[in-house]
A and B are shown apart, each in its own frame.
Chain A
Amino acid sequence: MSYSTANGPRLSQNDRSFGWLMTAPGLLALLLIVLFPLLFTVFTSAFDYTLLHRKYDTFVGFDNYLGAISDEYFSASLLVTVQFVVAVVILEFVIGFTVALMLNAVTRFKDVYYLILLLPLLINPVVVALIWRMFLHPELGIVNYLLSLVYIGPVNWLGDVRIAFWTVVLVDIWHQVSFMIILLLAGLSALPREPYEAARMEGASTIQAFIYVTLPLMRPVIAVTLLIRLIFAVKTFDLVFIMTRGGPGTSTDLISYYIYRSAFFGLNIGQASAISVLLLIIVLSLTAYLYRYMRSLT
């Protein structure tokens, strides 16, 4: 065996084979459960494969992709997804940062607040959607009942084309805002106190100190938090599946749900696979950007 410390450990051929042997089961499992479905999706997306015609005999190349892109329902779904992602990320960030700043100043019962905030995040999205579907029921829901006490409503939360989108956004905020709060709070509490105090000594007001010192120092944390939340928001499925089924109309037809619809209602597995691959490329490039950004910080 030979080890070189100057250029990192250099393993002998024997050790290297042993290393491969030990990692092989893990790699194989990864290959089977991650890489195979992925490649199979890419493969399927190149065929005219539907649930009525389950044969890989009609190779269509990029036709499924072109078909999807030229489909107006796809563009509508893409637009809804972009609106949804922008809305939830911005609103959750604003609310999350405000709450994180307030919590950062709290000294007593911090753990209790943490626990309360964490609760929604711990609930399965399907359960969240079910709970809110009940709460928001036009006749039987508690929300409309409470509103009726102050002579508001009844509101058709999930059935009105103009309201359903924002209802889903609000439920997503309820569910996911704690994620922002907790990440941003961790960032805030890790900030050095001295630059802030130095700014105060130099004559900065609380707001000036926040704008000129806290915000710039928080930039990396903010960027990472936004990107992570963005990636997850793009993939939102459960809320829409349970609460609105993409409707009314296509007002909440997020891209994940659109894929599901193409595959299991439209029965067009080939096209659904093509859109999945497109979604994967979008998420992958966001992830790559996040990874590069995080690397650039160190």
Chain B
Amino acid sequence: MAEIRLENVSKVYPSGVKAVEDVSLHIRDGEFMILLGPSGCGKSTTLRMIAGLESISSGEIHIQGNLANEIDPRDRNLAFVFQNYALYPHMTVAANLSFGLRLRHAPQEEISRRVAEAASMLGIGTLLDRKPSALSGGQRQRVALGRALVRDPVAFLLDEPLSNLDAKLRAGMRRELVKLHRTLGRTIVHVTHDQVEAMTMGERICIMNEGRIVQVGSPLDVYLNPANLFVAGFLASPPMNLLQARIEMNDSRPILRCGGLSLPIPSVYAADSIPRAGTPVVLGIRPEDIYDREIPGGISIEVKIVAVEALGPETVVVCEIPAVAEISAKVGRSFTVPNGSVQRFSFDPSQLHIFDARTTMAVRRQQACIQSGS
């Protein structure tokens, strides 16, 4: 049972800076959990507190059901993979891999067997005699992972392990880590600021901002149902379009007034959860939910094209809804129109997100989004 439970954990540095505030999180046994957030959001500090490398100012951390607050990092039986690999530069790869086992005085044959196993699993069998300085970034990364593997810990803590790799290597390592997780079945807590990593690797994502947990859920769940404006604006690239609007009454029915546009409130919103008339709200619509054609049941809007960014597989169009705001839309790669031209785009109102502008929280839906519109 390698579950990790954080209860109201906070970290306040002597300077008074609050790095982590009141974080409660239950990481299940064998789960691949991602801690995602912008730099300085406290995700690495949280991971380091789980590892025991950082003391806890208040709250409790339970590992395998035991209170771990005062347990020395060496006795937690967790493996930590550092962003810059933290290999021992004076030791060969083999010595790096076996260091932990040698400290525990494991029998020589067991050390050799486990090192060979980890090396073959990660494809670094031919590098065992080299020093870290003679390895490439990707190879170092593998050695750092191997060092964690040989010890057979109860859980792996990964602190942005892929951020120093180039894009191609990173994609490969992402898949390998997921495969490794499936093979080992061990709990993994992976810290990253990269949304692609978070979306593709995690079973659940815990999104943090300014030292607090903002939302925890499966990747698709947090993508489809962002809990607040921060998540809406942080996740995906380009992020959700956010437009200032206001609730108004029209024939005793609430509507959304967004600049010159007035939109009906989507039926997925329960009548009792709609804020009172006059309340400022923020409308969110994902660029991929905006179409360069009419769709059935869709709301049509007139836009003026500002810029067309052809990315290859898709095209991002930056356009202006006159007298409202600039938005971006993801359309097919065949989309080519001159800048400045006026086009008719449309969107599915059920994909519209409404946030309370004052609390920044999402307005409750009758049912959560489970699948994006076609």
Once the chains bind, are B53 and A201 in contact (CB under 8 Å)? Answer: yes
**Complexed CA–CA distance, A200 and B85 (Å):** 14
For chain A, residues 238 to 276, give those with C-beta under 8 angstroms from any C-beta of chain B. none
Once the chains bind, are B86 and A194 in contact (CB under 8 Å)? Answer: yes
**Complexed CA–CA distance, A268 and B63 (Å):** 80
Scoring A residues 187 to 200 as 1 if CB is less than 8 Å from chain B, else 0, what string do you get?
A: 00000101101111
CB distance from B159 to the nearest CB of A (A): 9
The chain A residue with its CB closest to the CB of B74 is: A203
Q: Which of B97-105, B253-261, B347-355 contacts A (4 or more CB under 8 A)?
A: B97-105
Once the chains bind, are A202 and B86 in contact (CB under 8 Å)? Answer: no
Counting CB contacts under 8 A, is A221 at the interface?
Answer: no
Q: In the complex, which of the residues B51, B75, B86, B103 contacts A195, with contact meaning CB atoms closer than 8 Å? A: B86
Instruction: Tell me whether A192 and B86 are in contact in the complex, defined as CB-CB below 8 angstroms, given that A200-B73, A205-B74 are known contacts.
Output: yes
Once the chains bind, are B89 and A208 in contact (CB under 8 Å)? Answer: no
Chain A residues near B103 (CB-CB < 8 A): 202-204, 208
Once the chains bind, are A198 and B74 in contact (CB under 8 Å)? Answer: no
Q: In the complex, which of the residues A107, A195, A200, A213 contacts B74, with contact meaning CB atoms closer than 8 Å? A: A200
Chain B residues near A194 (CB-CB < 8 A): 82, 84-86
Once the chains bind, are B74 and A204 in contact (CB under 8 Å)? Answer: yes
Chain B residues near A195 (CB-CB < 8 A): 86-89
**Complexed CA–CA distance, A205 and B103 (Å):** 9
Chain A residues near B84 (CB-CB < 8 A): 192, 194
Once the chains bind, are A213 and B80 in contact (CB under 8 Å)? Answer: no
Instruction: Tell me whether A203 and B104 are in contact in the complex, defined as CB-CB below 8 angstroms, given that A192-B86, A195-B86, A195-B87 are known contacts.
Output: yes
Counting CB contacts under 8 A, is A73 at the interface?
Answer: no
Chain A residues near B147 (CB-CB < 8 A): 198, 202
Instruction: Tell me whether A202 and B74 are in contact in the complex, defined as CB-CB below 8 angstroms, given that A194-B82, A197-B53 are known contacts.
Output: yes
For chain B, residues 177 to 235, give those with C-beta under 8 angstroms from any C-beta of chain A. none
**Complexed CA–CA distance, A195 and B84 (Å):** 10
Chain A residues near B51 (CB-CB < 8 A): 201
Interface majority SS on A: helix, strand, loop or mixed? helix
Chain A residues near B79 (CB-CB < 8 A): 201
Scoring B residues 61 to 102 as 1 if CB is less than 8 Å from chain A, else 0, what string do you get?
A: 000000000001111001110101111111000000001100
Q: In the complex, which of the residues B14, B82, B88, B100 contacts A213, with contact meaning CB atoms closer than 8 Å? A: B88
Once the chains bind, are B99 and A197 in contact (CB under 8 Å)? Answer: no
**Complexed CA–CA distance, A194 and B51 (Å):** 13
CB distance from B267 to the nearest CB of A (A): 52
Counting CB contacts under 8 A, is B151 at the interface?
Answer: yes
Chain A residues near B72 (CB-CB < 8 A): 200
CB distance from A190 to the nearest CB of B (A): 13
Chain A residues near B86 (CB-CB < 8 A): 192, 194-195, 197-198
Once the chains bind, are A217 and B74 in contact (CB under 8 Å)? Answer: no
Chain B residues near A204 (CB-CB < 8 A): 74, 103
Counting CB contacts under 8 A, is A212 at the interface?
Answer: yes
Q: In the complex, which of the residues A201, A208, A217, A219 contacts B73, with contact meaning CB atoms closer than 8 Å? A: A201
For chain B, residues 20 to 73, give those with C-beta under 8 angstroms from any C-beta of chain A. 51, 53, 72-73
Once the chains bind, are A198 and B82 in contact (CB under 8 Å)? Answer: yes
Chain B residues near A26 (CB-CB < 8 A): none
**Complexed CA–CA distance, A205 and B79 (Å):** 16
Chain B residues near A25 (CB-CB < 8 A): none
Chain A residues near B89 (CB-CB < 8 A): 195, 217
Chain A residues near B82 (CB-CB < 8 A): 194, 197-198
Q: Which residue of B14, B51, B79, B90 has the most chain A CB atoms within 10 A of its CB atom?
A: B90
Once the chains bind, are B104 and A197 in contact (CB under 8 Å)? Answer: no
**Complexed CA–CA distance, A219 and B89 (Å):** 12
For chain A, residues 149 to 203, give those with C-beta under 8 angstroms from any C-beta of chain B. 192, 194-195, 197-203
Chain A residues near B78 (CB-CB < 8 A): 201
CB distance from B177 to the nearest CB of A (A): 18
Chain B residues near A217 (CB-CB < 8 A): 89-90
The chain B residue with its CB closest to the CB of A204 is: B103
Instruction: Tell me whether A198 and B80 are in contact in the complex, defined as CB-CB below 8 angstroms, given that A203-B104, A204-B74, A205-B74 are known contacts.
Output: yes
**Complexed CA–CA distance, A197 and B157 (Å):** 13
Chain B residues near A192 (CB-CB < 8 A): 84, 86
CB distance from A186 to the nearest CB of B (A): 19
Scoring A residues 208 to 228 as 1 if CB is less than 8 Å from chain B, else 0, what string do you get?
A: 100011001101000000000
Instruction: Tell me whether A212 and B73 are in contact in the complex, defined as CB-CB below 8 angstroms, given that A202-B147, A202-B151 are known contacts.
Output: no
Instruction: Tell me whether A202 and B53 are in contact in the complex, defined as CB-CB below 8 angstroms, given that A197-B80, A216-B90 are known contacts.
Output: no
Chain B residues near A205 (CB-CB < 8 A): 74
Chain A residues near B73 (CB-CB < 8 A): 197, 200-201
CB distance from B151 to the nearest CB of A (A): 7
Once the chains bind, are B100 and A202 in contact (CB under 8 Å)? Answer: yes
**Complexed CA–CA distance, A192 and B82 (Å):** 12
Chain A residues near B151 (CB-CB < 8 A): 202-203
Once the chains bind, are A203 and B100 in contact (CB under 8 Å)? Answer: yes
CB distance from B206 to the nearest CB of A (A): 22
CB distance from A16 to the nearest CB of B (A): 39
Chain B residues near A199 (CB-CB < 8 A): 88, 99
**Complexed CA–CA distance, A194 and B81 (Å):** 10
Per CB-CB distance, the 8 closest pairs between chain A and chain B, nearest first, are A194-B86, A202-B100, A216-B90, A198-B86, A203-B74, A201-B80, A194-B82, A203-B103
Q: Which residues of B contact A (CB under 8 A)?
A: 14, 51, 53, 72-75, 78-80, 82, 84-90, 99-100, 103-104, 147, 151
Could you list 8 A-B pairs, sorted by A, with CB under 8 Å?
Answer: A195-B88, A197-B73, A198-B80, A201-B80, A202-B100, A203-B104, A204-B74, A216-B90
Q: Which residues of A contact B (CB under 8 A)?
A: 107, 192, 194-195, 197-205, 208, 212-213, 216-217, 219
